[in-house]
Amino acid sequence: MTTRPSPHLSLEEPELRRTEPESGPHPRSAGPTLGASLLGFALICLDSSIVNVALPAIDGSLGGGMAGLQWVVDAYTLAFAALMLSTGAFADRVGASRACASGIALFTLASAACGLAPSLPVLVGARVVQGVAAALVLPASLALVRRAYPEPARRARAVATWAAGGSVAVALGPVAGGALTTAWNWRAIFFVNLPLGAVALLLLLRAPRSPRRPAPLDLPGQVTAAVALTALTFAVIERGPAGLAALGIAVVAAALFVRGEGRHPHPMVPLGLFRSGAVRTAVFAGIACSVAFFGSVFVFSLFFQQVQGRSALVSGLLFLPMTGLIAVTNVAAGKLTGRYGARVPMLAGQLIAIAGLLTLLVVGAGTPGPAVALLLVPLAFGCALTVPPLTALMMDAVPAERAGLAAGVLNAARQTAGGLGIAVFGALVAHGFATGMRTALLIAVALLALSVLVTARRR
Residues 6+ apart with CB under 8 A from 328: none
Please report the pLDDT score of residue 283 as a whole number. 92
Please report the pLDDT score of residue 129 as a whole number. 96
Please report the pLDDT score of residue 432 as a whole number. 87
Residue (of 421, 445, 293) closest to 355 by Cα position: 445
**pLDDT beyond 60 at 91:** yes
Q: What percent of the chain has pLDDT over 70?
A: 89
Task: Report the chain's mean pLDDT, rounded to a whole number.
Answer: 84
Residue 448 half-sphere exposure toward CB, CA atoms < 13 A: 30
Give per-residue pLDDT as tens, 274-332.
Answer: 888 888 999 999 999 999 999 999 999 999 999 999 998 899 899 989 888 887 887 78
Please report the pLDDT score of residue 8 as a whole number. 31
∠ CA 397-399-402, nearest 5°, is 100
pTM of the model: 0.80
Please report the pLDDT score of residue 133 as a whole number. 94
Q: Residue 359, Cβ neighbours under 10 Å: how many?
A: 16
Please report the pLDDT score of residue 435 as a whole number. 94
| Candidates 3.90.190.10, 1.20.1250.20, 1.10.3470.10, 3.40.640.10; CATH matching 273-459 | 1.20.1250.20
∠ CA 45-81-31, nearest 5°, is 40
Give per-residue pLDDT as tens, 161-216.
Answer: 777 788 788 878 888 898 999 888 999 999 999 999 999 999 888 777 766 666 67
- Domain 27-206, what fold? Growth Hormone; Chain: A; (1.20.1250)
Residue (of 300, 326, 331) closest to 426 by Cα position: 300
